[in-house]
A = this chain, B = another copy of it.
Amino acid sequence: MNIALDMMGGDFAPEMALKGVKKFLDEHEFDGTITMLGDNRQLSDNLHLFQNNQNKIKIIPTTQVIEMNEHPTRALKEKTDSSITVGFHLLAQGNTDAFISAGNTGAMMVGAMYTIKSIEGIIRPAIGAYIPQEDGKLSLLIDVGLNADCRAENLLQFAILGSLFSKYILRINEPRVALLNVGEEEGKGNLISQAAYPLLKENDKIHFVGNAEGRDLLKDKADVYVCEGFTGNVLLKFAESFYDLFQKRKIKDAYLEKFNFEMYGGVPVLGVNKPVIIGHGISGEAAFCNMIEIARRMIEKNFTETVKNAF
């Protein structure tokens, strides 16, 4: 098993990525290789960090970095030796089994969709986010940004993708799927949710539990909350802003700590042909470690095949 990691992505590169790799290797039994993409000098100079695990590390030197504010498509095309471009090449050619980056989100999305491409039958891939539930569990909100305009069929696919991820990777038995809506009863909502409800209700690949409202998102009403990417993105960023607020107000609370979204690491782009994980720019040590672990599980479980079989 080979997991490639963009070491130059994120606000604290390569330090946090290095620490995350170390943490992962220290804490997990891992027989595979972690391919670190980035500045040769910065990476080689830090190999000593990994002590006995150095044999599990491979460095592929890259000389360019796609910065956070660069235009994704242009940057991917022009910066042919950037860590992200090279990462997608490795993945496309089968030289690695998964690719992770906390770098330019747009470049990662474009790379995933145009280099790795959607699984046949999937109209649009989606990206989810973990939402901390009051009882300590994590639920999945999907989509949170890839698809600002959706049809009901997209929502059904997000439901299936989220459900498979929740079951096989987050290990939730028979995950409950809810449709995020403005009311509880069937028939409520905008045109798309009215059209999506019966599709979700009748589909036997998911365990649909009906509509959920904004107030249910932190409660244990469902394991997967489905919505179009516009609402999902606004909602996620709003939720994230609460953590800054708690920090500013110096509020200490074990549950509210869980609104520190960069802890979780990224959620994969679901519906593409290989595991691709996009991290938050401010990903720290734990986030990088978690992303590697999620990639490992996706490879081990052959998650892409599971998705292919469902579509």
Contact = CB atoms under 8 A, between A and B. Distances in A.
Contact of A148 (B190, B216, B230, B233): B190
A235 B214 contact: yes
Contacts of A242: 218, 242
Nearest to A219: B241
Contacts of A193: 148, 230
Nearest to A180: B234
Interface centre among A180, A191, A245 (most CB of B within 10 A): A245
A191 B193 CA distance: 17
A174 interface: no
A189 interface: yes
A195 to B, nearest CB: 11
Interface of A: 134, 145, 148-149, 180-182, 189-191, 193, 213-219, 227-231, 233-242, 244-245, 248-249, 251, 253, 255-256
B251 A234 contact: no
Contact of A214 (B213, B218, B233, B253): B233
A238 B215 contact: yes
A214 B190 contact: no
Contact of A227 (B214, B217, B234): B234
A229 B191 CA distance: 12
Contacts of A248: 134
Contact of A182 (B180, B216, B218, B234): B234
Nearest to A190: B148
Contacts of A145: 182
A267 B248 CA distance: 29
A149 B234 contact: no
Contacts of A213: 233-234, 237
A245 B134 CA distance: 8
A240 B213 CA distance: 11
Contact of A189 (B214, B215, B230, B245): B230
A256 to B, nearest CB: 7
Given A148-B189, A182-B148, A256-B249, A214 B230 contact: no
A236 B251 contact: no
Interface centre among A231, A237, A239, A255 (most CB of B within 10 A): A231
Q: Top 9 nearest A-B pairs by Cβ distance? A: A214-B237, A214-B238, A148-B190, A214-B234, A215-B241, A215-B237, A182-B233, A231-B231, A190-B230
B218 A245 contact: yes
Nearest to A131: B238
B239 A238 contact: yes
Contacts of A217: 238, 241
13 contacts: A148-B189, A148-B191, A148-B193, A182-B233, A213-B234, A214-B237, A218-B238, A219-B241, A230-B231, A231-B235, A234-B235, A235-B238, A242-B242
